[in-house]
Amino acid sequence: MIFGVVFLARTSFTVAGQRYFSLFDDSMMSMRYARNLAHGHGLAWNATGHPVEGYSNFLWTLWMAFLHLFPFPESKISLAVSVSGLALLVVNLLLVRSLVAQLAPSSPRARVIAMWLVAIYYPLAYWTLRGMEVGLLAVIGTAAALIAVRVSRSPRAGTGAVVGLGALLALGLLTRDDFIIPAIIVVAWLAWRVQPTDRFKLVAILAAFVVGTVGAHTAFRVAYYGDWLPNTYYLKLAHIGLWTRLHRGVFGLVATGELELWAPVAVAGVYLVARRRRVPPGAWLLAGLFVGACAYSAYVGGDAWESTQLANRYLASQATALLVVAAMAIDYVVSAPAAVRSRILAAVAFIAIPVVVLRAPDLIPASNMQLGRLPTEWWLTRVGTPLVVGAGLAALAWWTRPRSYVKPLAMATAIVVLVGLAMSTRELRWWGQHNAFLPDRETAVAGLALAAVTQPNAVIALAVAGGAGYFSDRPAVDLSGKSDRTVAREPPSFPVFVPGQDKQDLHYSLGKLRPDLVFSWPATQADAQIESYGYDRVAPGAYVRHDSRLVDRMGLARIATFNG
């Protein structure tokens, strides 16, 4: 909670003497939908015109709309969303404790280890505190696993527990459609674990919740938006081949694994292999949930933000499951016989070698052959961290081998620290130096500036639409197509596949829709192309239509920095 408060305080910024808060850009797009809904304009990107489903987090958007009903000023409503995310992170930790108590009832130590691993996992905190639905999905996933384990342990758990589980799966499906993957995994695992006499009833109840929720949401989508699938589905998958998506998705998984998740994956994997016949069955459910998230991420091509070198939102929402298994593994290692303990630690330490090999070729690329801070940064974060972690685990393996007894608290603490170093060292170091990764503050400030130099009915075309779209509060054209049905269904416009960021049709967005102002952050290189549609370049990244009288050109030109 202390970290969350500091994190949120550092994301604030001041404009005209007033302190503002903003969210991740995709979250700010959902916030625009939420504000329109709360103000009676419907669940839509623009208050007028046919609505388009440009969000992929229905339930979370409804929560944002609920917060907009309170008298929060525009400058603080994002903070309210982030604080609710912080509360979800705390709830998730409490659920983790209960889940581990079910899986390892005789080991209070495992509960503490699990809570610490989840608490120090930076990507989960980052995406949640930046306003994404990741924290809500983590809570729903952990709670669903907890109830599923309880139902599997008690043949007479009763219909109430199964109905509660079904309701949780329904909430997950309403939060994101792709929660269908963990929902199927939970139902399949329970069908495998329960007695044959209880199987049909259990599966029928859970299937009714899953199918009913998907059917009801689809019916609403068709009736309200006129589409069977969300607009983001067409944006990210239409006209993009499976091989293209898999190539990028698998590469993203490898990059994430070798950057931050290799240690918990290694610890959990060695534990599951070494103890495969004695592992609590619930551990296999958790492993399945994480593997399912990995498979889905690979299938859709990953996320658009792997350049941040954070685990993407799909993985972060299910990382709790992996970290719980890793905690059980650490607890087992601490209490295992000396020889077994040494072998497991040595095996995990050995896995650090291929991690270093994967990182080493990129250590000093040809474009960065200079002395100074960059090579040191790379040594510390890309190669130094796995070397330190691997050496630390190897030292523990060597030191514990001749000892039949070690102090459990000291051993557990040492392993948790090493795994934590592997998971979050680079991210926390970057956060300490540069705060959040993405320029959400700049787009929010740009939106406020655009509001100051345009009339309320001026239409703005935005390349990065979230923060600028919300804070400008003007009718907006989404150049990237997330909230535009036409652009989303077109083939990719750029040679490099980046999910949700590789489609653009200026002939349609500018030539047909004719917005008054085009704002591109960072400044685009397509000056001549934009000007050919009848626009004047007034400032870097800002263009005004020749005949528009709704934009203060002098005021726009006076805005000092559009590019950060």
The tokens for 133 are: 């639905």
Residue 378, pLDDT above cutoff 60? no
Distance separating alpha carbons of residues 385 and 362, to the nearest angstrom: 15
Distance separating alpha carbons of residues 84 and 370, to the nearest angstrom: 45
pLDDT for residue 199: 87
**What is the DSSP code string of 333-372?**
HHHS-HHHHHHHHHHHHHHHHHHHHHHGGGSS-GGG---S
- Kindly state the average pLDDT of the residues 482-498: 91
Q: How confident is the model at residue 259 (pLDDT cuts 50, 70, 90)?
A: confident
Q: Which one, of 119, 201, 218, 219, lies nearest residue 160 by Cα? A: 201
* DSSP class of 437: S
Q: Which one, of 238, 232, 301, 296, lies nearest residue 498 by Cα? A: 301
Q: Which amino acid is at 374?
A: L
For the beta carbon of residue 524, count every other beta carbon within 10 angstroms: 18
Reduced to 3 states (helix: H, G, I; strand: E, B; else coil), residue 85 is helix
Distance separating alpha carbons of residues 136 and 148, to the nearest angstrom: 18
The tokens for 359 are: 């990182």
Length of the chain: 564
Angle subtended at Cα 40 by Cα 236 and Cα 476, rounded to the nearest 5 degrees: 45
Distance separating alpha carbons of residues 96 and 93, to the nearest angstrom: 5
Q: Of the ranges 62-66, 186-190, 318-322, 424-428, which one carries the lowest mean pLDDT score?
A: 424-428
Q: Of the ranges 78-87, 400-409, 546-555, which one carries the lowest mean pLDDT score?
A: 400-409
pLDDT for residue 368: 33
Q: Which amino acid is at 462?
A: L
The tokens for 313 are: 């939102």
Whether pTM > 0.85 for this model: the answer is yes
H or E, element range at 220: helix 196-225
The percentage of the chain sitting over the pLDDT mark of 70, rounded to a whole number, equals 92
H or E, element range at 415: helix 408-434
Q: How confident is the model at residue 140 (pLDDT cuts 50, 70, 90)?
A: very high
Q: How confident is the model at residue 386 (pLDDT cuts 50, 70, 90)?
A: confident
Among left, alpha and beta (phi > 0; psi -120 to 50; other), residue 473 is left
Distance separating alpha carbons of residues 161 and 165, to the nearest angstrom: 6
pLDDT for residue 376: 52
Q: Of the ranges 107-121, 355-369, 389-403, which one carries the lowest mean pLDDT score?
A: 355-369
* DSSP class of 454: B
Asked if residue 200 lies in contact with residue 207, where contact means CB atoms within 8 angstroms, the answer is no
Residue whose token pair is 């703005």:
460
The DSSP bridge partners found for residue 535 are 545
Reduced to 3 states (helix: H, G, I; strand: E, B; else coil), residue 531 is helix
- Kindly state the average pLDDT of the residues 3-16: 91
Q: Which amino acid is at 365?
A: P
Residue 232 φ then ψ, to 5°? -65, -25
Residue 535, pLDDT above cutoff 90? yes
Q: How confident is the model at residue 404 (pLDDT cuts 50, 70, 90)?
A: low
- Kindly state the average pLDDT of the residues 97-103: 96
Angle subtended at Cα 30 by Cα 29 and Cα 32, rounded to the nearest 5 degrees: 65
pLDDT in tens, 20-48: 999 999 999 999 999 999 999 999 999 98
